[in-house]
């Protein structure tokens, strides 16, 4: 009998199933379209001996040893709820359902509060990761995770011998951590796209040379999977035209929604994740291609006469480094806020550790981040001495890159969002005194004075119309 069952043989599901079989677990698989199941089985080679293909849900359930554990690898939303309902009718009360797709953690909270044993696990690493070792972020009742941990520990990526699988906390904690991972993924990708834009449009570099820059950076502090991916895609030629493949790809970014979930959640938590927000907004803007093309004709170009930007590649590298630290700091601050809000004890250093291998945002920096987060729980990652020193040493580069790009009219949404976050964060006396004054003037919302602990001061404000002092809000005098 199978040790575990898996439903959903799409790209990620199929890869995960093969990984499970390769790690010597027997598994039963089912897919709503049976032809996909038989094709998967036929292509599974020597791993077929560990796989039981099934063509009805009844035979799938019967093929798994009780108490059963069933992994769902399905698109987020309704499909998962419908599948749970269908399975519920066939399962024993203590059989466990595991949603290992990208779920909204609120759905996972709801599903794990039901009668059916249920846990949500975030899996990262794309197809390659799912096949050969993903990063695993689990949530739900610990006793349910313990039942399947040996399987997930076995299939997870390893970083210098340590397993990249974690139980983050109860209910939707695992899917929440995966959502933040994806928010950071969006931020990271957009920052790289920003520097790509500078090199392509500002410095007139071709894809091949840009690929060479990414390749070099991948040997330094920026070493990461996404820089490696960027190097490889920038260096690839189109088999049809012979041009750089990047140059024939339409500039409209897709998105399945996890980046949006991350920024919506950050807003609900009151955590500023400006770099993620800029990255999501930039994908949305990219989709408005027709509007962008029209606007290009309306406005005069910012870069006069095609003058090239002159930026040293090393300066660009250090600017990206600074922005990246800020993007990650925002993500970890969001996890910290959620931990307090939802009563989880999300282990930030351990989360950084499971991101060191297998997942999309894996990067050389995460090992130091794990150490910095462990040093002083609750402290913003950007203020940890190791990262504060790096930020201080590179902030000038980020500043000059953003300034030069802005002057040239090259959009750098993620880099500038990072820089603005940094500048706001390091400003002891900000400008919110004016916001408070405006709020009190038009709505009598009150403000706190710097020389008093009382929270509820009002004006009195000058009335612009009457040029006289008015007590309290000016709204009444307008
Ligand atoms: C991962 C990825 C993955 C995500 C894709 C596409 O960790 O393996 O985050 O879960 O679905 O990267 O995401 P978008 O379509 O939203 O870009």
- Tell me which residue has its CA closest to atom 9 in ligand 1: 182
pLDDT class of 355 with cuts at 50, 70, 90: very high
Residue 446 near ligand 1, beta carbon < 6 Å: no
Q: Which residue has the higher pLDDT, 303 or 282?
A: 282
375 is known as an active-site residue: no
Residue 182 CA to ligand 1 center (angstroms) comes to 7
Pocket test for ligand 1, best of 360, 362, 363 (most atoms within 8 A of CB): 360
Convert the pLDDT of each residue in 413-444 to its tens digit: 999 999 999 999 999 999 999 999 999 999 99
Sign of CA dihedral 464, 466, 467, 469: negative
- What is the rounded average pLDDT of the residues 54-75? 98
Which atom of ligand 1 is the closest one to the Cα of 125? 8
Residue 10 near ligand 1, beta carbon < 6 Å: no
Which atom of ligand 1 is the closest one to the Cα of 182? 9
Residue 256 CA to ligand 1 center (angstroms) comes to 7
- Note the pLDDT of residue 306: 63
- What is the rounded average pLDDT of the residues 153-157? 98
* Residue 401: C-alpha distances to residues 215, 318, 323, 346 (Å): 20, 10, 11, 35
- Helix pair angle (173-197, 413-425), 10° resolution: 110
The answer, yes or no, to whether residue 193 has pLDDT greater than 70, is yes
* Residue 334: C-alpha distances to residues 182, 348, 380 (Å): 13, 10, 10
- What is the rounded average pLDDT of the residues 14-39? 98
The answer, yes or no, to whether residue 309 has pLDDT greater than 60, is yes
- Note the pLDDT of residue 161: 96
Any idea what the Cα angle at residue 412 is, between residues 406 and 418, rounded to 5°?
A: 105
The answer, yes or no, to whether residue 464 has pLDDT greater than 90, is no
- What is the rounded average pLDDT of the residues 95-111? 98
Any idea what the Cα angle at residue 309 is, between residues 304 and 310, rounded to 5°?
A: 140
- Note the pLDDT of residue 466: 62
- What is the rounded average pLDDT of the residues 35-48? 98
pLDDT class of 176 with cuts at 50, 70, 90: very high
The answer, yes or no, to whether residue 97 has pLDDT greater than 70, is yes
pLDDT class of 203 with cuts at 50, 70, 90: very high
Residue 255 near ligand 1, beta carbon < 6 Å: yes
Residue 232 near ligand 1, beta carbon < 6 Å: no
Residue 180 CA to ligand 1 center (angstroms) comes to 12
The answer, yes or no, to whether residue 76 has pLDDT greater than 60, is yes
Residue 258 near ligand 1, beta carbon < 6 Å: yes
Pocket test for ligand 1, best of 73, 126, 225 (most atoms within 8 A of CB): 126
Residue 475 CA to ligand 1 center (angstroms) comes to 49
Lowest-confidence range among 42-46, 52-56, 345-349, 461-465? 461-465
The answer, yes or no, to whether residue 301 has pLDDT greater than 90, is no
Pick from 349, 406, 410: which is nearest to 381 by CA?
A: 349
Q: Which of 185, 265, 277, 317 is catalytic?
A: 185
Q: Which two tokens stand for residue 232?
A: 């490889």
Residue 102 near ligand 1, beta carbon < 6 Å: yes
178 is known as an active-site residue: yes
The answer, yes or no, to whether residue 304 has pLDDT greater than 70, is no
Residue 363 near ligand 1, beta carbon < 6 Å: no
The answer, yes or no, to whether residue 475 has pLDDT greater than 70, is no
- Note the pLDDT of residue 468: 56
- Note the pLDDT of residue 463: 78
Convert the pLDDT of each residue in 383-408 to its tens digit: 999 999 999 999 999 999 999 999 99
- What is the rounded average pLDDT of the residues 448-469? 83
Q: Look up the pTM and report it.
A: 0.95
The answer, yes or no, to whether residue 211 has pLDDT greater than 50, is yes
Residue 418 near ligand 1, beta carbon < 6 Å: no
- Between CA 351 and CA 365 the distance in angstroms is 13
Residue 4's beta-bridge partner residues?
A: 27
């Amino acid at each position: 009998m199978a040790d575990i069952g898996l439903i959903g043989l799409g790209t990620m599901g199929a890869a995960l199933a093969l990984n499970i079989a390769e790690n010597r677990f027997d598994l039963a698989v089912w897919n709503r379209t049976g032809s996909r199941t038989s094709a998967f089985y036929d292509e599974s080679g020597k791993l077929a001996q560990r796989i039981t293909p099934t063509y009805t849900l009844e035979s799938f359930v019967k093929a798994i040893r009780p108490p059963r554990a069933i992994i769902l690898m399905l698109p987020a939303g309704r499909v998962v709820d419908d599948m749970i309902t269908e399975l519920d009718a066939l399962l024993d009360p203590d059989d466990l359902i595991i949603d290992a797709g990208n779920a909204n953690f609120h759905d996972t909270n709801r599903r794990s509060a039901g009668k059916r044993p249920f846990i949500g696990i975030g899996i990262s690493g794309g197809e390659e990761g799912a096949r050969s070792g993903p990063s695993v972020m689990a949530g739900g009742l610990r006793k349910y995770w313990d039942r399947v941990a040996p399987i997930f520990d076995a299939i997870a990526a390893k970083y210098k011998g340590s397993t990249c699988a974690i139980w983050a906390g109860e209910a939707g904690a695992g899917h929440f951590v995966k959502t933040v991972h994806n928010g950071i993924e969006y931020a990271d990708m957009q920052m790289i796209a920003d520097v790509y834009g500078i090199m392509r449009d500002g410095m007139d570099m071709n894809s091949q040379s840009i690929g060479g820059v990414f390749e070099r950076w991948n040997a330094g502090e920026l070493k990461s999977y996404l820089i490696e991916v960027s190097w490889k895609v920038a260096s690839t030629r189109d088999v049809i035209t012979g041009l750089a493949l990047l140059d024939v790809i339409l500039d409209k970014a897709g998105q399945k929604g996890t980046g949006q979930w991350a920024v919506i959640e950050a807003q609900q938590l009151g955590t500023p994740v400006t770099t993620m927000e800029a990255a999501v907004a930039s994908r949305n803007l990219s989709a408005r291609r027709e509007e962008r093309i029209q606007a290009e004709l309306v406005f005069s170009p910012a870069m006069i006469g095609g003058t090239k930007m002159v930026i040293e590649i090393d300066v660009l590298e250090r600017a990206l480094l600074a922005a990246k630290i800020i993007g990650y700091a925002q993500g970890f601050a969001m996890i910290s806020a959620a931990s307090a809000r939802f009563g989880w004890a999300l282990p930030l250093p351990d989360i950084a550790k499971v991101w060191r291998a297998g997942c999309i945002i894996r990067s050389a920096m995460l090992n130091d981040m794990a150490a910095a987060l462990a040093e002083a729980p609750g402290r913003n990652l950007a203020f940890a001495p190791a990262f504060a020193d790096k930020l201080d040493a590179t902030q000038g580069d980020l500043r000059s890159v953003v300034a030069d790009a802005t002057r040239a009219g090259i959009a750098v949404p993620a880099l500038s969002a990072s820089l603005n976050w940094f500048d706001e964060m390091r400003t002891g006396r900000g400008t919110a005194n004016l916001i408070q004054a405006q709020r009190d003037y038009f709505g009598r919302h009150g403000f706190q004075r710097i020389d008093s602990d009382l929270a509820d001061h009002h004006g009195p404000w000058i009335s612009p119309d009457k040029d006289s002092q008015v007590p309290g809000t000016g709204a009444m005098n307008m």
